[in-house]
Amino acid sequence: MWRLGLAVVAVLLAGTIAPFSRGAWISLAAGIAVFVVAERRHRLLVGAAGAGLAVVAGAVAVLDRGPLGERISSLFSGDAVSLYGFRATLVRRAIDVISHHPLTGAGRFLEQGLYAGRPTLATHPHDMLLGVAVFFGIPAALAFTALLALAVRAAWRAGRARDASLAAEGVGALAALTALFVNGLLEYHFWNSALTVEIVLLLILAVALGRAAKQGRRPSPGERPGVVDAT
């Protein structure tokens, strides 16, 4: 089973690095940090792996003059400020749209500008909560925020469960939610149906694990979240 786990981690790590998304890299670092803090059994192993990944990234940034090295090093240069200037424009535009459609949302978002020196058209504000408010209104954004808080609380409860397997899943869900929140400061995920499904499943998993921890038992295979067998 641990070999399968390592294979899954390797595939996900490659998928995180390949798109050259600095937001994804920052989110990965945040998720690893939360896992190291919350995990009790494998803290040293995960911490060492995270530190090793940081060392490799630093070496690539210093030694590689190709696109990957430049992308990593741009996180620590003035270029990052200029790149995120367009995101600041998107935030201002989103706030303006929300102010005109606070309850129902505008249902659409378009903003032209320069990103990395190239003309671009943004169809969402590159922020998860702002995006929900833009498209669906402030009440929807508040409801989604409450749902995220509920999922984080449930994952935290599961992470402190006595059952080692349940606790490990809870910590994993908590780390994933942290990565989602951090990435949500930089991206709007609901533009894509596949990403939407993944987020919904993550929230369901976190809530189900929290309920299992509260009940003091793991849900049986096929059992619906929150449904308890009275017998």
Domain boundaries defined on the chain: 21-215
pLDDT at 118: 74
Average pLDDT over residues 174-201: 92
The DSSP bridge pattern shows strands 111-115 and 118-122 to be antiparallel
Confidence of residue 29 (pLDDT cuts 50, 70, 90): confident
Q: Which residues contact 32 (CB under 8 A, 6 or more apart)?
A: 46, 49, 50, 53, 175
> What confidence tens digit (pLDDT) does each residue in 129-170 have?
999 999 999 999 999 999 999 999 999 999 988 888 899 899
pLDDT at 230: 38
CA distance 102 to 133: 8
Average pLDDT, the chain: 81
